[in-house]
Chain A
Amino acid sequence: MHPAKQVVRRSLAIVAVLSASLLISAHPFAQSGTGRRSLVAAEGRDVRLWDAQIARMVRDGRLRSRGEEADLMLGGRSHERLDQYHQGVKVFGGELVRQADSGQTVSVIGALYAGISLDVEPVLGPRDAAAVVADLTGVSVGPDRTPELIVLPADDGGYALTYRVRVLTADDLAVFFVDAGTGRLVLRYSDLQTTIGTGQGVLNDTKKISATLRDGTYLALDGMRPPSIRTYDLKGNLARTQAYVNGLLTLNDTDLAADADNQWTDPAAVDAHAYAGWTYDYLYKRFNRQGLDHRNLAMTSLVHPVRREDWASAPSPVLNLYYLNAFYAGGGVMVYGEGLPPGATMGGRQWHYFSGALDVVAHELAHGVTDYTSDLIYRNESGALNEAFSDIIGTSVEFFYQRAGSGRLQADYLLGEDLTEPSGAFRSMANPQAYGDPDHYSRRYTGTADNGGVHHNSGIANHAFYLAIEGGVNRTSGLAVQGVGAASRAKIETVFYRAFTQLLPANATFSMARAATLQAARDLFGAGSDAERAMEQAWSAVGVS
């Protein structure tokens, strides 16, 4: 080879190596250190960099794809979720969400954990971990609830090899992380995705109920919608309720709420059953979504988990969870609190059956949607976003079926306002501060209670949703927002749905939520659209940049 050519070739090779090094070193995940690395890539160069990085991480096993799902709103688009793994063990909260358009990446949003150096050989087996949890809670889980080995990033930046298991106890639906080496409890947080508030049962509104006639009895088993929607009457048996949720008991047709003449008289069962169907219909009609998992997962409602007449003697945790609450228990199962008997009051209010409020039912079911999509971790900011998404869906379902107004059975931006006598609410999207919740990021709760304030900080995203639709001025920042208008609320609903189910990772932050909703607005309505403008102004108004 000619010496001059050799020089040129060597020069080109050096340039190529240097360029690659620069690119890699510029990559956030290539930086040294440990801990969480957040990313939002929506521009061409960033996207290309992350495409290359993702390809490398998939090749060496640090990322595993959960598979792609076709976009339900935009033809040609698809969404892929990639979980982070360390030596074959999933890293809790390490996840990227990649959106593609005809195979070309449009955006990557997520967070990964760097600097993991753990031995992934557990000393304990999964049953040992289950036994630890059983010792702690007094509750055993069934064989199909095997604890999962998982790398848990600690808040201080370290990592622990743990087993994760979710258990419904007498007073909580909790997630436990047990050290796989020592059996020590590393982390426990409540996964009780609830709307704490006002219950409503019977407002004497007549609604249709889709039932099934078997052996001369009408059962609360919906045979007209694509998924199985069923409502069980636990007849006040808390032990059976817990056993069912924990996978230790199978319910059968005799446990279904029933009626002799199809003129249903149990309002708790009527509302739970009807509103579950309405929520399914809303998801289908608004987003073309087929149920909680988009595969028509069965939707199961449990009513009467305790006996109303026992409320006075019920322990406080049982009273708070099974009387004055409702929660999504995973796997498409909702549990609705019993409320209080007529005449009994708590906090100066009478409490109806918790299945009686449409926004509450839709809120709980939206947790199921989150479970099967972004799976927003129910702690801190991601937990607040999880709650906010449920509030957004709950309110949106109200507006879908009810006339806008401020009375009973009317759509508004209050949560759970129909559950009590006299009427009250536990959150407001229009004015979160009125219920003690922040309307601005600067006012966010940073303590550890309530899983890091998931029910409080949700007010920030809730208010952004409200402002993006209705417009107005944020009371803290004084910034004005030009909303899209109530007649166009479907735009903002769709933007949030797309962002929260298809673009956000499990450990999302408010900042990611802003980026994801802006991306969704551009995807759906174009750059410069009123939806994008409203979202941008709304997030800025609530202090999220």
Chain B
Amino acid sequence: MLALASALAASPALARPPGEQPARQQPPPAAKPAAQPEGRQTAPGTQPAGAKAPPARKAAPPQTSKAWKGRGFALVSVGAQLAAPGYASTADFTVHGENATLNADATIGIGPAFGARGGVRVWKNLAVGGGLEVVSTNQELAISGRLPHPFQFNQPRDVDGTADGLARTETLVAFEVSWLVALARRVDMFVFAGPAYIAVRQDMATRIQFNESYPYDTATFTGVETASVSGGGVGATAGVDVSYLVTERLGIGGELRYSYASASLTPSTQPAKVGLGGLRAAFGARILF
């Protein structure tokens, strides 16, 4: 699940230049304190009436700590997994009345990611919420194995090869804390992080398929048999989400997120520690409220 888009979505609640800020969200002038604390500024349109205008000056650059007055955000994203941790697994199986072994080094490929995030502002620019992501990828396995000889004990034959196209789906559920940072007039950024649980269902190699012929002193790798294995683990996720508001409530944005957890999966007899998560990028729509 991509959480990246969330950060910028809260930006409508920030102070806006005259004519652009939503009146509904404009705090009444009377509510304003007579003097703003150091380091906290209001937008030009929020100047109390009657106050002497300050000397003309150049417009201030975007601030990173402008007040966020909105109630929350929601966003949906579509993207891709750019990188993910691989894993190594081992499987034992029986060939010709003797134990055979399989060692697989998995590389996780690039795959599509779909996600949604949301959050509620709880204090200043801080929001809490959650995220959900689903990533679907393929795996490529570098396989090496030892296959027993049909006629003699302890005379294994080494084989190696690759297998690709093995399916893998991860689902991330995260509790996230987000902090809003205004980057420009319409551009905001959320930085977010939090604990995550990542569930995975993936194909894992359980047995080597091979060809052999008399005198059987060698064998040729032809593929692997697989099992669909599922599990999950608790980890963490963090990322940034930059958005651009097109309208008062709607915007578009992009998110970059890194997540990590690990799970113990057992394709046949031996468990394998499988890294989950990885680096993902996504783009999508942002809704502010």
Which residue numbers of A lie inside 8 Å of B, CB to CB? 206-208, 210, 224-226, 262, 274, 277-278, 281, 284-285, 401
Q: Pick from B97, B153, B214, B217: contact of A226, CB below 8 A.
A: B214
Chain A residues within an 8 Å CB radius of B96? 208
Asked whether, in the complex, the Cβ of B151 is within 8 Å of the Cβ of A277, the reply is yes
Q: Does B161 contact A (CB under 8 A)?
A: no
**Given that A208-B96, A208-B97 are contacting pairs, would A284 and B150 also be in contact in the complex, using a CB cutoff of 8 Å?**
no
Chain A residues within an 8 Å CB radius of B215? 281, 284-285
- Contacts A206-B153, A210-B150 aside, 16 further interface pairs with beta carbons under 8 A come to A207-B153, A208-B96, A208-B98, A208-B151, A208-B152, A208-B153, A224-B150, A224-B216, A225-B214, A226-B214, A262-B97, A278-B151, A281-B151, A281-B215, A284-B214, A285-B217
Asked whether, in the complex, the Cβ of B150 is within 8 Å of the Cβ of A208, the reply is yes
Q: Number of contact residues on B: which range applies?
A: 10 to 19
Report B128-155 residues with CB < 8 Å from chain A CB.
150-153
Chain B residues within an 8 Å CB radius of A206? 153
Chain B residues within an 8 Å CB radius of A224? 150-151, 214, 216
> Would you mind naming 11 contact pairs between A and B with Cβ atoms under 8 Å apart?
A207-B153, A208-B97, A208-B150, A208-B153, A210-B151, A224-B214, A274-B151, A284-B214, A284-B215, A285-B215, A401-B152
Q: How far is the CB of B212 from chain A (nearest CB, A)?
A: 9
Chain B residues within an 8 Å CB radius of A281? 151, 215
Q: How far is the CB of B16 from chain A (nearest CB, A)?
A: 82
Which label, helix, strand, loop or mixed, suits the secondary structure of the B interface?
Answer: loop
Which residue numbers of B lie inside 8 Å of A, CB to CB? 96-98, 150-153, 214-217
Q: Which of A208, A210, A226, A277 has the most CB of B within 10 A?
A: A208
List the 4 closest pairs (A to B, CB-CB), nearest first.
Answer: A208-B151, A224-B150, A226-B214, A208-B97
Chain A residues within an 8 Å CB radius of B151? 208, 210, 224, 274, 277-278, 281
Complex Cα distance A281/B97, Å? 19
Chain B residues within an 8 Å CB radius of A284? 214-215
Chain A residues within an 8 Å CB radius of B152? 208, 401
Complex Cα distance A494/B282, Å? 70
Chain B residues within an 8 Å CB radius of A278? 151
Q: How far is the CB of A157 from chain B (nearest CB, A)?
A: 49
Residue on B with the closest CB to A290?
A: B214
Residue on B with the closest CB to A224?
A: B150
Chain B residues within an 8 Å CB radius of A277? 151
Q: How far is the CB of A402 from chain B (nearest CB, A)?
A: 11
Complex Cα distance A251/B188, Å? 90
Q: How far is the CB of B181 from chain A (nearest CB, A)?
A: 70
Complex Cα distance A476/B153, Å? 43
Chain A residues within an 8 Å CB radius of B150? 208, 210, 224
Complex Cα distance A281/B215, Å? 7
Q: How far is the CB of B157 from chain A (nearest CB, A)?
A: 14
Chain A residues within an 8 Å CB radius of B98? 208
Complex Cα distance A401/B155, Å? 11
Chain A residues within an 8 Å CB radius of B97? 208, 262
Complex Cα distance A323/B247, Å? 102
Chain B residues within an 8 Å CB radius of A210? 150-151
Chain A residues within an 8 Å CB radius of B217? 285
Complex Cα distance A226/B213, Å? 10
Complex Cα distance A277/B98, Å? 18
Complex Cα distance A208/B97, Å? 8
Q: How far is the CB of A515 from chain B (nearest CB, A)?
A: 33
Chain A residues within an 8 Å CB radius of B216? 224
Q: Which of A210, A224, A225, A226 has the most CB of B within 10 A?
A: A224
Residue on A with the closest CB to B152?
A: A208
Q: How far is the CB of B246 from chain A (nearest CB, A)?
A: 71
Chain B residues within an 8 Å CB radius of A226? 214
Residue on A with the closest CB to B212?
A: A224
Chain B residues within an 8 Å CB radius of A207? 153
Complex Cα distance A401/B214, Å? 17
Q: How far is the CB of B228 from chain A (nearest CB, A)?
A: 30
Q: How far is the CB of A249 from chain B (nearest CB, A)?
A: 30
Complex Cα distance A519/B138, Å? 64
Complex Cα distance A224/B214, Å? 7
Q: How far is the CB of B206 from chain A (nearest CB, A)?
A: 23
Q: How far is the CB of A42 from chain B (nearest CB, A)?
A: 34
Complex Cα distance A224/B216, Å? 9
Complex Cα distance A401/B153, Å? 11
Complex Cα distance A208/B94, Å? 14
Complex Cα distance A207/B154, Å? 11
